[in-house]
Amino acid sequence: MAKLLLKLQRYFRRKPVRFFTLLALYLAAGSLVFLHSGFSGEPRVAGSPRSPAAAEGPGLQYLGVMQLSRGFKAAATIPAGGRRHGPWFRNTSREPSDRGKPRDNSGPRSRALRGRSGREKEEDRARYIGCYEDNTRQRTLRGMSFFDYKKMTVFRCQDNCAERGYLYAGLEFGAECYCGHKIQAPNASESECNMECKGERSNTCGGVNRLSVYRLELAQESARRYGSAIFRGCFRRPENVSIALPASQLMLNMSVDKCVDFCTEKEFPLAALAGTTCRCGFPSTLFPLHEREDEQLCAHKCAAEEFESCGSAEFLLVYQTQVQDNRCMDRRFLPSRAKQLVALASFPGAGNTWARHLIELATGFYTGSYYFDGSLYNKGFKGERDHWRSGRTICIKTHESGQKEIESFDSAILLIRNPYKALMAEFNRKYGGHIGFAAHAHWKGKEWPEFVANYAPWWATHTLDWLRFGKKVLVVHFEDLKRDLFVQLQRMVALLGVTACEDRLLCVEGQKDGNFKRSGLRKLEYDPYTPEMRKTIGAYIRTVDAALKLRNLSGVPEDYYPR
């Protein structure tokens, strides 16, 4: 025995790669055994979608994406006398096994049938109504939309649309979700909806310019009526009101809900209450929503609601409905190679992703990146995969601050943000993702002080380097962009050499948040900055302020200095 072990030892010394390969296989086998013994669930045979009820067991509701975590709990409920089966061996079906029968699951028709079977089992939540045509210029469902090229599922799309009160949810290209109150296209053949969902291959998520459409049976009536109408303000009636707000209806029993519902049904993003008349339309040069009036001028009681205001014939009370303004949603790559490379430069956490979203909507062209971020690509930033020198994108995101890197660009938009806000935003991104938050332990631990010590100097040197080495630099303050989006976006688009019509920029104002706005609900209950940190950062702010003024630019906004 000792001689055998000695021979093995000598062999593996001469062949270390084989030793590590065997070790990896051993660990992988152990992991499979552990998973097999710990997970209990129903087997899922290809081509036969699993019933939600069966997966959860009697008495448990179907929770969609929560099925996986439920599987481990189910294992603990098996009687002690029974044998626990892993998902590969357990068969709870009462029907005879079809394992021996040949099955072809590769064709598009088979996938469509498989998806249809799954749809029929989910009719308590949503009802599948068919495959419909779609095109990028005139969407079939014209409400909210979002993309996820990695994890899109039927349930996720339905859930997002139902939460916002829409009547229909449609999936396209395996990864795109569209919501709406009305289907505005003809049916297509079921075989044309043949693309698997990116996050759920057992279901079908439309096809190329084809939507798999569901009617949301459980979309709450209250959500449809009140859910997400946003108050925009009181405005003077435009001169050509019938052109500015083309749809109208007399409502003797006027209320905010009735007018919003009417305009939503007509697929308009604006609902304007004018006494007993409800008007609908889009933000436009005739009605830009830039000059708000005193709300008291619109304080006329509604006929149907005593405690609501319904405006008057001269002063309109305006709400934004759930309908998405699609005039600025089309995006593509540049038709010919760009002659100049334009940087969208910022310190991390200064709002670069948000600025990219605004530029793409305003110009209709994708933006690129000096880096590659898969999560951004999956959310619809398709220029993320292009090499930054490809010339196919309108501008290039970068956080670089070295002379060589800066001089490789012909011009730049330099986005500057309050360092106190930028540092916290980047810290949240680093430890919580693009729209997540750092944990309390990270703020209270050693990570935060180390982060500030390393990143605060970079905030200053980043701006100073771009001012020094940049060839043609347009400075935009994040705070000014939030406060006066229309004017600042005009400046940015002008530098990019694109002519964007005012109506398109007004459309951007209504879609300005995008998918990467971090919720303000989780704010720290304390100030993470120590007096020493503030003293150091304050010196950096004064340095940047002086550098901007030296170049005849406006200094940093006043709110950069703590009060």
Q: For residue 86, what pLDDT is reported? A: 29
pLDDT band at 12 (very low <50, low <70, confident <90, very high): low
Percent of the chain with pLDDT over 70: 74
DSSP code string of 248-272: EEE-TT--HHHHHHHHHHTT-SEEE
CB 476 within 8 A of CB 488: yes
Q: For residue 403, what pLDDT is reported? A: 93
Q: For residue 318, what pLDDT is reported? A: 93
Percent of the chain with pLDDT over 90: 47
- Give residue 524's Cα distance to chain centre: 24
> Is the model's pLDDT at 276 over the cut of 60?
yes
**Interval 416-431 mean pLDDT:** 91
Choose between 243 and 306: higher pLDDT.
Answer: 243
Please state, in angstroms and rounded to a whole number, the distance separating the CA atoms of residues 362 and 397: 16
Q: Which residues contact 78 (CB under 8 A, 6 or more apart)?
A: 40, 84
Sheet holding 247-250, edge to edge: 230-236, 315-320, 270-274, 277-281, 247-250
Q: Which of 525, 143, 58 is nearest to 326 (CA)?
A: 143
Strand duo 342-346 + 168-172: pairing? unpaired
Choose between 31 and 391: higher pLDDT.
Answer: 391
Please state, in angstroms and rounded to a whole number, the distance separating the CA atoms of residues 430 and 436: 9
> Is the model's pLDDT at 360 over the cut of 90?
yes
- Write out the E strands in 73-133: 126-133
Helices 16-38 and 2-14 sit at what angle, rounded to 10 degrees? 110
Q: For residue 286, what pLDDT is reported? A: 92
pLDDT band at 558 (very low <50, low <70, confident <90, very high): confident
Rounded to two decimals, the pTM is: 0.62
Q: For residue 8, what pLDDT is reported? A: 66
Q: For residue 229, what pLDDT is reported? A: 79
**Interval 520-539 mean pLDDT:** 81
Q: For residue 57, what pLDDT is reported? A: 36
Q: For residue 85, what pLDDT is reported? A: 29
Q: For residue 246, what pLDDT is reported? A: 95
**Interval 10-19 mean pLDDT:** 66
**Interval 231-257 mean pLDDT:** 92
Please state, in angstroms and rounded to a whole number, the distance separating the CA atoms of residues 298 and 233: 9
Please state, in angstroms and rounded to a whole number, the distance separating the CA atoms of residues 112 and 212: 10
Please state, in angstroms and rounded to a whole number, the distance separating the CA atoms of residues 507 and 326: 8
Most confident segment among 163-172, 208-217, 359-368, 431-440: 359-368
Q: Any idea of the CA torsion for 34, 36, 38, 41, to the nearest 10 degrees?
A: 160
**Interval 310-327 mean pLDDT:** 90
Q: For residue 100, what pLDDT is reported? A: 40
**Interval 120-134 mean pLDDT:** 76
pLDDT band at 193 (very low <50, low <70, confident <90, very high): very high
- Write out the E strands in 173-263: 176-180, 196-197, 200-204, 210-216, 230-236, 247-250
Mean pLDDT, the chain, rounded, equals 79
**Interval 291-311 mean pLDDT:** 85
62-105 residue pLDDT tens? 323 333 332 333 333 333 333 322 222 233 333 333 434 444 44
Q: For residue 225, what pLDDT is reported? A: 39
> Is the model's pLDDT at 220 over the cut of 60?
no
Q: For residue 458, what pLDDT is reported? A: 95
Strand duo 126-133 + 210-216: pairing? antiparallel
> Is the model's pLDDT at 356 over the cut of 90?
yes
**Interval 534-558 mean pLDDT:** 93
Please state, in angstroms and rounded to a whole number, the distance separating the CA atoms of residues 473 and 414: 6
21-47 residue pLDDT tens? 777 777 777 666 555 444 434 333 333
- Number of other CB atoms surrounding residue 423 within 10 Å: 26
CB 452 within 8 A of CB 436: no
Q: Give the helix ranges, DSSP H, for 220-308.
A: 221-226, 241-244, 256-265
